Amino acid sequence: MNDAVKPTTTLICGSLAFDKIMQYHGRFSEALIADQLHKVNVSFLVPTLRTEYGGCAANVAYNLGMLGGDPLIMATLGQDGGEYLERFATMGISTRAIRTIGHAYTAQCFVTADQDNNQINAFHPGAMQFSHENNLADYGPLRIAIIGPDGRDGMLKHASDCVSASVPFMFDPGQQLPMFNGEELRDFIEKATYLAANDYEFEMLTERTGWSAEQIASRLEALIVTRGDLGSEIFANGERILIPVVGASAVVDPTGCGDAYRAGLLYGIAKGFDWATTGRLASLLGSIKIAHQGGQNHRFTPAEIGERFEAAFGYRFQ
């Protein structure tokens, strides 16, 4: 297939969620008694509450759409997901691969933070547990896919579906990595074309698989490891490419920064950019996101990204 007729769609497999974020104006440590933690019964007054649109799939699609990419979310919403579908419609993001599970609620994360930014979280997977009911073959042709944090059965199925359909995919286990044993993770890596993880996740990945970074990278076209304010690394074609951090205008909220970064990776891969440019674009998107509260409240246009990229790196990627 030549470049003129290659599909452009990026399939994004992962969670859709509502994040309920509450702020406790005291300290958890002052409400908890160390030697009584076996019988905790406490209540925290939370004067502030906000709801954010979240989920890895939505965050990635949000950024990829603003870049000018062609995102297609394949995920599950619950009976309460109507407003999310309306939001996607206003953003011009297709909902044809989103399945509504009528007997479940949309996945939700309940976050309570104290004044020291310690957090107590509760996550209800809800409709996400039925992601395996989606079939990749129903939504082709596809340029690339990403398998992000989602229902366990769905992640396993979608990896196999990508292989069956000869669709290259990025494995991004994220917070769902602990659900898989070493054999399952090795199988994901053998099937994947690319792998993205933060440094903590990658350490867990090497421990569970028993493979070194070199052994993992040798099985992929590219291994991407993010390291927070130390930047990131891309291992590809036998090289180690260091990607610098782009200075942020403010450091407000890291939620969704990894998803913004992955949108940059997917855009660069789909456009055929070299890895240094792809990683720098990803880094730029992460720096824009961190200056805003929530995963989907920042805004940019392709033209603005081009200008900011040139200002940061001295050349244009477009």
Residue 215 has pLDDT above 70, yes or no: yes
- The pTM is what? 0.93
Q: Which pLDDT does position 174 carry in this prediction?
A: 94
Alpha-carbon distance values, 248 to 25, 49, 110, 221, 253 (Å): 27, 26, 27, 30, 11
State residue 226 phi and psi, 5-degree precision. Answer: -95, 145
Residue 32 has pLDDT above 90, yes or no: no
Question: How far is Cα 125 from Cα 134, in angstroms, rounded to an integer?
Answer: 16
Give residue 292's pLDDT band: very low, low, confident or very high (50, 70, 90): very high
- DSSP string over 272-317: T--HHHHHHHHHHHHHHHTTSSSSS-----HHHHHHHHHHHHSS--
* Interval 63-119: pLDDT, tens: 999 999 999 999 999 999 999 999 999 999 999 999 999 999 999 989 898 888 788
Helix (H) or strand (E) holding 261: helix 257-271
Backbone angle region of 194, left / alpha / beta, with phi > 0 → left and psi within -120 to 50 → alpha: beta
Q: Which pLDDT does position 115 carry in this prediction?
A: 87
* Interval 136-178: pLDDT, tens: 999 989 999 999 999 999 999 999 999 999 999 999 999 999 9
Higher pLDDT, 21 or 225: 225
Q: Which pLDDT does position 2 carry in this prediction?
A: 47
Q: Which pLDDT does position 127 carry in this prediction?
A: 98
CB-based contacts of 158: which residues, under 8 Å, 6+ apart? 13, 74, 131, 134, 136, 145, 147, 150, 169
Give residue 6's pLDDT band: very low, low, confident or very high (50, 70, 90): confident
* Interval 233-276: pLDDT, tens: 999 999 999 999 999 999 888 889 999 999 999 999 999 999 99
Helix (H/G/I), strand (E/B), else coil: 6 = coil
Alpha-carbon distance values, 141 to 62, 136, 224, 281 (Å): 21, 10, 26, 26
* Interval 80-94: pLDDT, tens: 999 999 999 999 999
Mean of per-residue pLDDT scores for the chain: 94
Helix (H/G/I), strand (E/B), else coil: 47 = coil
CA angle 317, 263, 209 (to 5 degrees): 120
Give residue 5's pLDDT band: very low, low, confident or very high (50, 70, 90): low
Helix (H/G/I), strand (E/B), else coil: 49 = strand
Domains and CATH numbers, the chain: 3-16+55-103+127-313 (3.40.1190.20)
